Amino acid sequence: MTPDSTLGGYFEKHSRPPAFEGSDGASYSVDLYINEEEEPEHGFVGALLFVRWSPDGAQPVSHLETDYLVTAVRRADVKAALHALTLHEVKDHLERLIEKSKGLRDW
């Protein structure tokens, strides 16, 4: 496994979010969603947010987001768990979201 084969390793090595081509032919970048304040029932929660870009890459045109993937007492633990995801796991989440969103209208 290379240092940039995890989400956190990629962010650290390249100083930018990884990008993927989805099975729908669109380009996506991924970032983390972590709530800013602790929730009484869950603590801190985290998900992945995929931004779909226009064909020329100039502007975002929509987004997809996972359900909460991680819950933890500390925000740093949520970030660490999301950063530990491999890029293959991240891409699998994207593909499931693309499949789930087929037939839905864009914003």
- CA geometry: angle at 97 spanning 93 and 103, to 5°? 165
2, part of any domain = no
Find the mean pLDDT for residues 102-106: 69
Range of the domain at 13: 7-101
73, part of any domain = yes
More confident residue, 107 or 25: 25
Reply yes or no on whether the pLDDT at 4 is more than 90. no
Q: How far is CA 38 from CA 49, 67, 81, 84, 94, in A?
A: 19, 17, 17, 21, 26
Reply yes or no on whether the pLDDT at 106 is more than 70. no
Per-residue confidence (pLDDT) for residue 107, from 0 to 100: 54
Residues 6 or more apart whose Cβ sits within 8 Å of residue 99? 23
72, part of any domain = yes
106, part of any domain = no
1, part of any domain = no
27, part of any domain = yes
26, part of any domain = yes
105 pLDDT tier (thresholds 50, 70, 90):
low
Task: Report how far residue 46's alpha carbon sits from residue 10's, in angstroms, rounded to the nearest whole number.
Answer: 18
How many structural domains is the chain composed of? Answer: 1
107, part of any domain = no
Task: Report how far residue 30's alpha carbon sits from residue 21's, in angstroms, rounded to the nearest whole number.
Answer: 11
Mean pLDDT of the chain: 92
CB 87 within 8 A of CB 5: yes
